[in-house]
Chains A and B, each alone.
Chain A
Amino acid sequence: MEDKNQGSESKPTKGITRRSFIRGAGLSTAGSVFLTSNALAFDYKEQHVAGKEFGPEAITLKMKVNGIIKSLSVEPRTTLASALRDHLELTGTKVVCDRGSCSACTVYLDGKPVNSCMMSAFDVGEKEVTTIEGIAKNGELHPVQQAFIEHDASQCGYCTPGMVMSCVHLVENNANPDLEDVKKATRGNLCRCGTYPHVFKATLAAAKKTI
């Protein structure tokens, strides 16, 4: 069995697929799932064509990521996080809990934060995806990224992309946030190293510079 090539037939079927779970549970984005108090949901309508069936084999999909239209071949069960990490090599987006509880996988869909681990790649449709790799523009860091460096707002750094995404979204949408606003903006972001105090400081400092 060493030399087997990947075939596309006879995938085992499961009772509940991730996609049906996502639909059933509703989208919880940039926050924890409904089991916790961290939910911070944005409305999001799925973009797939009603009635059209995909799969089970991989099919080609077009997706606009960080301003560039990419073409990728993925199975229908592929999450947006997996599409970004495993197919487009955009590994800045991290998968930590894989069930919408930690926000490490936060990306923007048309500017709004979503948990990419909880979303089917096929549901992106024509919306534009922005990942951590797309936050610095023309080699210039966003003030939040600069402030994260200056205030030592990362330790191991694994939560940092998700944190930056949450904090950039805050300062882009709230010209004068206070500490409570920063806490609310990052309340779905888990940092196990406990870097929160420096994340708060950095974001408040960046907000001042952004004005």
Chain B
Amino acid sequence: MDTRKEKFPYGIPGHNLSEIEREIPIEEPPVWPVNDELKVIGKRVTRIDALEKVTGKAKYTSDIKLPGMLYAKMLRSNVPHAVITSIDISKAESLPGVHAIHLIENAQKEGEENNNGKYPMVKYAGQPLGGVAAESLEIAKDAISLIKVNYEEKPFVIDIEAAMELNAPIVFDVPITQQEDGGDVGETHDGSKGEGNVRGPSTSSFFGGPRGDLETGFKEADVVVERTYRTQVHTHMPLETHGVVVDWNSDQMMVYASTQNTNAVRNEMASVFNLPKSKVRVFCDFMGGGFGAKHSAGSFGPMAANLAKKTGRPVWLMLDRQEEHIAEGNRPNSIQSLKIGARKDGALTAIQQRSHGTAGVNLGAGVGRIAQILYPCPNFATEQYDVLTNAGPGAAWRAPGNVQGAFGLEQAIDELAEKLEIDPLKYRDIIDKSEVRKVERQRGAKLFKWSRRQPAGSGDGVIKKGLGVGQSTWPRFVSLDSTVEVKIHNGGGVEIRSSVQDIGTGTKTILAQVVAEELGLPVAAITVNIGDTFFPVGPGSGGSVVTGSITPPARNAAYEAKKALLKLVANKWETDSSDLFIDNGEVGSKGDASLKMSFKEATQLMRTSQISKMASRSNDYGGFQQPWGLAYGDLGSVQFAEVSVNTDTGFIKVDKIVAAHSCGRPLNIGQLESQINGGVIQGVSYALYENRVMDKGTGHMMNANVDQYKVPFSMEIPEIETVIVEEYAARSSTDAYGIGEPANIATAAAIANAVYNAIGVRIYEIPITPSSILKALNKVS
């Protein structure tokens, strides 16, 4: 591969900005300077699709209407564990307006559980069994209520601790594998090891396995903190539920999908129906929220397709709110014990972690890698167990594992600091080697006025104030299967095409910014056509991979297209194209200021209708930590929380959060603030409100709606201030990364630490409710 050397900005402006030389592929564009010297990158560019959103014109999957379209509804089990003996659909079939009924039947593949007859065995209440397509949604619902399912019920178990008992009802008596969209990103849990409902443990990650020797480490420790932390199950509750509209004609299966991954849905549908990928087209223009759970076609995708096949008509199948809560993902709970040792000078000597969590009928209930990598520690070991229960499957949920893990780790670090009589922020200066988090601590503490923090529980009065801090890390993942096409049309018009989708994070806008910057055009001159699998494959929107994966090829493709265009201009001007540039929509020459041509005129020099260039994500400059796309560095954050706790009522109010974050080169400040605000608010929600409540007697979720499933509304929103630290690492042509996961990891721990600082008693379980405050204060039993 031909390469050249370039000097890149490196480090943090205002702190340690320097230059670094990198060897880069010769065809890649010249280095971008820091954001201050760029025109649209790093600026508050308004979202290019905001107009459609504020006027109600944005079409989401749930809004799709096609000629002849039928509405479908899923049939679900209403018991948590059973063998289905029969299903009577005769009454539903004869209901006027019903067009087709499809029941899920056992394929009888080798290795699957047998002895369970025609239909799959029911493993949780709400498991999909079939579906109905009808003239209207109301008729489809009526038909579902007319289907009679006969069950031979079996003992079941809902509670994680009950499921860990040796005599507990067994959820699966065979080894199972993790569903593709389940749990931890990039890590597969082993369902073949273990006893009863307890599977695992998982002891290593792509950051390696155990380190050193725990016994030696704890012997060296002067202080030790050993605690058990508990986190709850919470569901994703995106406003737009999971669902699809499938239009399957003889030549092509068209799938409109509310998805975070058009390409994965395309591949799944092609695989289920044994179609070539070229015959399945998945489309997602506007998407009403995912947060990790929408990477798969699920069972609703194939169901809609089967009903479309049976009826020959397009089928709309969007889940309702209850189904969404029960069956389409949740963050597994955790019971984590953490033992950490440190010397008098603060240095960590050993970290031992052991966790159990349940992702219901799925695997992936680990507590992530945050205890393994946030602070260097020579002796480390983790054992993370999955516990199977008769409840809906867990799925990746914004920073899977790490949010649970951070809640434990960052409280333990706080407690360690107190034992060592060191301020918790200063303690992190001692043990945290990250340069970017150091800057985040400095800038965040100043904005937050950390210096006003008082000793724990020292406040007067009924309402006590508390301040706390929490930190996080998230890997820089890159999806190498990320391709973008950039087209310059004859007569003007620039178009970006990729299957990558915009799930509300602003992907369309940052793509337009990157290409606009490269082409010297205003953002409004760029059309972004994405979310369509007929275009080159882009990454799924998960793990904060999109920005780091798709913006470098977008810039590189635009650069190639620009070079082709400038060649045409150079021919006309009889000059060298390397001498030409585009700025403010005009082609100019470095050598001769009198040469000028508008971008539009330049495009009219084309002999063809378009210049089309495609680029795929190249390897990071300087290589990866892991060749599959684990980049060097991390996405670090420091969050500060201020709370007020009423010690008479137990009522907790989060007054303020300061969130200091880094994501490499920031591309769009307004959108980054939006995502950080969102991560923080979801963190507040996790810390204080959300909880999936299951009825142990029936196996049903008790609060599968919006009013009893508690989340913060406007009155509960704290003041949020963001600090975005620019950090250049010289790893790609944009050097930019995402912020989705990092924004969500540290909040709950910061709040828990603030609550401790307020009342002087530590709470080890979330959600922290008024009742848990009053219990901690010994005011109720």
**A157 and B288 within 8 A (CB):** yes
Stretch at the interface among B90-98, B147-155, B613-621: B90-98
Q: Mark B686-726, 1 if CB is under 8 A from A, else 0.
A: 00000000000000000001111001011101001000000
Give every chain B residue within 8 A of A6 (Cβ-Cβ). 96-97, 135-136, 139
**A12 and B714 within 8 A (CB):** no
| Distance A141 CA – B504 CA, assembled complex (angstroms) | 22
- A6-B97, A156-B238, A158-B289 known; A132+B56 contact, CB < 8 A: yes
| 4 closest cross-chain pairs (CB), A and B | A92-B56, A156-B504, A7-B96, A194-B681
Give every chain A residue within 8 A of B312 (Cβ-Cβ). 2
Give every chain B residue within 8 A of A155 (Cβ-Cβ). 289, 504-506, 674-675, 678
Partner of A192, one of B93, B99, B711: B711
Partner of B99, one of A1, A157, A159: A1
Shortest Cβ gap from B178 to chain A (Å):
26
Q: Can you name 24 A-B pairs with beta carbons within 8 Å?
A: A1-B94, A1-B101, A2-B99, A2-B100, A7-B96, A94-B240, A96-B240, A102-B706, A135-B56, A149-B50, A150-B46, A152-B670, A152-B674, A154-B47, A154-B54, A156-B288, A157-B53, A157-B286, A182-B714, A184-B715, A190-B706, A192-B237, A192-B239, A193-B674
Asked if B736 CB lies within 8 Å of chain A CBs, one says: no
| Distance A101 CA – B311 CA, assembled complex (angstroms) | 35
Asked if A52 CB lies within 8 Å of chain B CBs, one says: no
Partner of A154, one of B50, B237, B706, B714: B50
Asked if A116 CB lies within 8 Å of chain B CBs, one says: no
Asked if B648 CB lies within 8 Å of chain A CBs, one says: no
Stretch at the interface among A19-27, A30-38, A42-50, A121-129: A30-38
Give every chain B residue within 8 A of A94 (Cβ-Cβ). 62, 239-240, 288
Partner of B138, one of A9, A77, A97, A160: A77
**A2 and B714 within 8 A (CB):** no
Asked if B109 CB lies within 8 Å of chain A CBs, one says: no
Which residue of the partner chain B has the closest CB to A160? Answer: B53
**B707 and A97 within 8 A (CB):** yes
Which residue of the partner chain A has the closest CB to B322? Answer: A98
Give every chain A residue within 8 A of B57 (Cβ-Cβ). 92, 133
- A6-B139, A157-B53 known; A194+B679 contact, CB < 8 A: yes
Which residue of the partner chain A has the closest CB to B685? Answer: A194
Q: Mark A76-115, 1 if CB is under 8 A from B, else 0.
A: 0110001001100111111111110110100000000000
Asked if B231 CB lies within 8 Å of chain A CBs, one says: no
Give every chain B residue within 8 A of A97 (Cβ-Cβ). 321, 705-707
**B677 and A198 within 8 A (CB):** yes
Shortest Cβ gap from A142 to chain B (Å):
9
Shortest Cβ gap from A57 to chain B (Å):
11
Give every chain A residue within 8 A of B679 (Cβ-Cβ). 194
| Distance A156 CA – B502 CA, assembled complex (angstroms) | 8
Asked if A186 CB lies within 8 Å of chain B CBs, one says: yes
- A141-B55, A161-B56, A195-B678 known; A96+B671 contact, CB < 8 A: no
Q: Which of A154-211 contact B (CB under 8 A)?
A: 154-161, 164, 182-184, 186-200
**A152 and B671 within 8 A (CB):** yes
Q: Mark B287-328, 1 if CB is under 8 A from A, else 0.
A: 111010000000000000000001110000000110000000
**A152 and B54 within 8 A (CB):** no
**B142 and A12 within 8 A (CB):** yes
Asked if B344 CB lies within 8 Å of chain A CBs, one says: no
| Distance A188 CA – B711 CA, assembled complex (angstroms) | 12
Q: Which residues of A contact B (CB under 8 A)?
A: 1-2, 4-12, 32-33, 35-38, 75, 77-78, 82, 85-86, 89-99, 101-102, 104, 131-133, 135-136, 141, 145, 148-161, 164, 182-184, 186-200
Shortest Cβ gap from A134 to chain B (Å):
9
Partner of A156, one of B51, B289, B711, B717: B289
Asked if B176 CB lies within 8 Å of chain A CBs, one says: no
Q: Mark B35-60, 1 if CB is under 8 A from A, else 0.
A: 00000000010110111111111111
Give every chain A residue within 8 A of B504 (Cβ-Cβ). 154-157, 193
Give every chain A residue within 8 A of B506 (Cβ-Cβ). 155
Q: Which of B501-516 contact A (CB under 8 A)?
A: 503-506
Give every chain B residue within 8 A of A92 (Cβ-Cβ). 55-58
Asked if B65 CB lies within 8 Å of chain A CBs, one says: yes
| Distance A32 CA – B707 CA, assembled complex (angstroms) | 7
| Number of A-B pairs, beta carbon distance below 8 Å | 214
- A192-B237, A197-B717 known; A132+B55 contact, CB < 8 A: yes
Residue of B44, B682, B706, B711 contacting most chain A CB atoms (<10 Å): B706
Asked if B145 CB lies within 8 Å of chain A CBs, one says: yes
- A148-B50, A149-B47, A194-B680 known; A9+B96 contact, CB < 8 A: yes
Q: Which residues of B contact A (CB under 8 A)?
A: 44, 46-47, 49-60, 62-63, 65, 93-101, 135-139, 142, 145-146, 237-240, 286-289, 291, 310-312, 320-321, 503-506, 670-671, 673-675, 677-682, 705-708, 711, 713-715, 717, 720
Give every chain B residue within 8 A of A160 (Cβ-Cβ). 53-54
Shortest Cβ gap from A191 to chain B (Å):
8
| Distance A75 CA – B93 CA, assembled complex (angstroms) | 21
**B100 and A1 within 8 A (CB):** yes
Give every chain A residue within 8 A of B287 (Cβ-Cβ). 156
Residue of A33, A101, A197, A199 contacting most chain B CB atoms (<10 Å): A197
| Distance A99 CA – B98 CA, assembled complex (angstroms) | 26
Q: A99-B705, A133-B55 are in contact. List 13 more A-B contacts (CB 8 A).
A: A7-B97, A32-B713, A94-B240, A101-B705, A133-B56, A154-B50, A156-B504, A184-B714, A187-B713, A192-B711, A194-B677, A194-B678, A195-B677
Which residue of the partner chain B has the closest CB to A193? Answer: B678
Give every chain A residue within 8 A of B707 (Cβ-Cβ). 32-33, 35-36, 97, 99, 101
Shortest Cβ gap from A147 to chain B (Å):
9
**B56 and A91 within 8 A (CB):** yes
**B708 and A35 within 8 A (CB):** yes
| Distance A185 CA – B57 CA, assembled complex (angstroms) | 23
Shortest Cβ gap from A27 to chain B (Å):
15
- A154-B47, A187-B713 known; A98+B320 contact, CB < 8 A: yes
Shortest Cβ gap from B738 to chain A (Å):
14
Partner of B310, one of A2, A12, A164: A2
| Distance A160 CA – B136 CA, assembled complex (angstroms) | 27
**B138 and A75 within 8 A (CB):** yes
Give every chain A residue within 8 A of B289 (Cβ-Cβ). 155-156, 158, 192-193
| Distance A154 CA – B95 CA, assembled complex (angstroms) | 42
Partner of A96, one of B239, B310, B717: B239
**A135 and B55 within 8 A (CB):** yes
Shortest Cβ gap from A2 to chain B (Å):
6
| Distance A159 CA – B504 CA, assembled complex (angstroms) | 11
Give every chain B residue within 8 A of A75 (Cβ-Cβ). 136, 138
Residue of B96, B101, B673, B679 contacting most chain A CB atoms (<10 Å): B96
- A77-B138, A132-B56 known; A38+B674 contact, CB < 8 A: no
Shortest Cβ gap from B398 to chain A (Å):
11
Shortest Cβ gap from B505 to chain A (Å):
7
Which residue of the partner chain A has the closest CB to B52? Answer: A157
**A159 and B310 within 8 A (CB):** no
Shortest Cβ gap from B142 to chain A (Å):
5
Partner of B60, one of A82, A158, A182, A193: A158
Shortest Cβ gap from A37 to chain B (Å):
8
Which residue of the partner chain A has the closest CB to B145? Answer: A12
Partner of B288, one of A98, A158, A199: A158
Give every chain B residue within 8 A of A82 (Cβ-Cβ). 137
Residue of B53, B54, B136 contacting most chain A CB atoms (<10 Å): B54
| Distance A159 CA – B60 CA, assembled complex (angstroms) | 12
Give every chain A residue within 8 A of B670 (Cβ-Cβ). 151-152, 198
Give every chain A residue within 8 A of B706 (Cβ-Cβ). 32, 96-97, 99, 101-102, 190
Shortest Cβ gap from A152 to chain B (Å):
4
**A159 and B138 within 8 A (CB):** no
Give every chain B residue within 8 A of A191 (Cβ-Cβ). 239
Which residue of the partner chain A has the closest CB to B142? Answer: A12
Partner of B240, one of A90, A151, A158, A187: A158
